[in-house]
Structure 1
């Protein structure tokens, strides 16, 4: 179930309560901790994690609240909140590891210093994943596209349903979930169909030479069908063009104007136009 906007999560309240109780326990149970040094070490580790977690959650809450208040009257396309949540998850994971070290009596600073060479080797081995993570963070904080946008990345096209540290999760037209590596965003051509919501629609198709028609004739034959489509602007301009010609085919494109920029509406228009073209070519088979 989704958290209501402006409410404080129960998990944060529980962490805050545990942190307060644990902090109070140090002066009140000083003798007990002195007799049980292992429990003291464990308490220090847990206190480190809770302190960091409370600070991170408080900072995240303040930043998100400030951001939402600042953009309350504007349409925001970025993923600032998503980026903050992912970054908070990374910081919590880092401090969880540090807390475990403290609980086990390991000095985190000495450990990191001694593991420098190993860390460099790990960085080389997991270079692709690390760069994917960095790319993911850049995407999360960008204003270029966000969850819910319809995009095309290279040969992949569909609706963004999630952005992770490793991939952009895209749901394509066949309802298949496609995991696109974050790095691909910076190396391939990206088209965001939702960035500029436009009522202009272009339908592309090709006909074999045997069924070819000049642009004016094709527009005239399609006009009665187009007038019946409720999703098109009444009296809107319809422009038919020949886009390319090959050895045994002719490519056309039809420019139309929908009543709004809804992606679903434009899909309906495209399907209706293509169906009309099928009927035209079937009825006119053999004509030049």
Structure 2
């Protein structure tokens, strides 16, 4: 039932609205001849059509490319950057089409306008050089097989899991769950390590305990290690130790790094729940034994 629900096709409301808009605008153009009285309306409809029609064609091409790509890689383990890159590139082209349509609406010839702004465009390119570089770097990352959303990477002094790639930044979620925005061009100008290439099975369990229970950490560590030892879904060659992350006024925050047998997020969550369940039992038993 869940698989059938996940396979339901999403209704492309925006695409449908574009088609309806084209039908209405073309109908008005053909039904009412162009005259001096309706020149403004005619020009506005011309601008609308110059955006909607190419945008519809672009949407169809985008769907076809993604469909062919998914069909060719249906039985292969691929990184999901291609679809992300196609979606971002489509957004850029749609923005350009919208600007051209706005020019057409106001009776401006886009070619003449761009020609007259050649030197201004060069100055803008110099002023926004860093942003343009980040944009191009972002496109290279999206269409590459080196990085993908979900990878754990280290770029310069920043390390974390990629949660998104935009035209300006790579969004990393670090070990403290902070979101770090790393400019795209740093991937090409700084040393970059893809930790997921060898450590994709690594995941971290974080928790905190009241300060009065933290003194019995050896007992907790032994209980967690007993849970991990000989676990069928964990790599138990090296039994990890609890690491103290932070000591607060009335709490201690810990973390433990574990290696699962696969990189499945579902498996990681299940294993994390097992470890946290053991910690809850420990906390309950210690709280109960210390009660008067």
TM-score > 0.5 by shorter chain: yes
Gaps of 5+ in 2: 1-5, 204-223, 240-257, 276-292
| Paired residues, number | 227
RMSD: 3.1
Residues 41-86 of structure 1: CA deviation (Å, up to 9, x unaligned): 1110011010121111111111111111111111111401110111
Residue 32 of structure 2, aligned match among 17, 26, 29: 29
Task: Say whether 1:229 aligns with 2:232.
Answer: no
**What secondary structure is seen at the aligned counterpart in 1 of 2:171?**
strand
Aligned partners of 1:134 and 1:165 also within 8 Å: yes
Residues 100-152 of structure 1: CA deviation (Å, up to 9, x unaligned): 11101111111000000000000011111101100000001111111111111
**What secondary structure is seen at the aligned counterpart in 1 of 2:197?**
coil
- 2:212 alignment partner in structure 1: none
Residues 160-191 of structure 1: CA deviation (Å, up to 9, x unaligned): 11100000000101111100000000011212
**What secondary structure is seen at the aligned counterpart in 2 of 1:195?**
helix
- 2:59 alignment partner in structure 1: 57
Task: Say whether 1:12 aligns with 2:3.
Answer: no
Q: 1:194 to 1:28 in 2, by over 3 A?
A: same
Residue 195 of structure 2, aligned match among 175, 185, 193: 193
Gaps of 5+ in 1: 202-224, 239-256, 272-288
**Structure label with greater radius of gyration:** 1
- 1:160 alignment partner in structure 2: 162
- 1:177 alignment partner in structure 2: 179
* CA distance, structure 2, for counterparts of residue 122 and residue 56 of structure 1: 28
- CA offset at residue 7 of structure 1? 3.6
TM normalised by structure 1 equals 0.70
- 2:261 alignment partner in structure 1: 260
Q: 1:124 to 1:4 in 2, by over 3 A?
A: farther
Aligned partners of 2:161 and 2:174 also within 8 Å: yes
- CA offset at residue 229 of structure 1? 3.3
Aligned partners of 2:153 and 2:159 also within 8 Å: yes
Aligned partners of 2:152 and 2:200 also within 8 Å: no
Equivalent residues in 2 for 1:85-164 (5 A)? 85-164=87-166
- CA offset at residue 21 of structure 1? 2.2
Aligned partners of 1:144 and 1:195 also within 8 Å: no
Task: Say whether 1:69 aligns with 2:68.
Answer: no
Q: 1:78 to 1:109 in 2, by over 3 A?
A: same
**What secondary structure is seen at the aligned counterpart in 2 of 1:158?**
strand
- 1:284 alignment partner in structure 2: none
Aligned partners of 1:158 and 1:170 also within 8 Å: yes
Q: 1:36 to 1:153 in 2, by over 3 A?
A: same
- CA offset at residue 22 of structure 1? 1.4
* CA distance, structure 2, for counterparts of residue 258 and residue 162 of structure 1: 24
* CA distance, structure 1, for counterparts of residue 235 and residue 118 of structure 2: 65
Q: 1:186 to 1:158 in 2, by over 3 A?
A: same
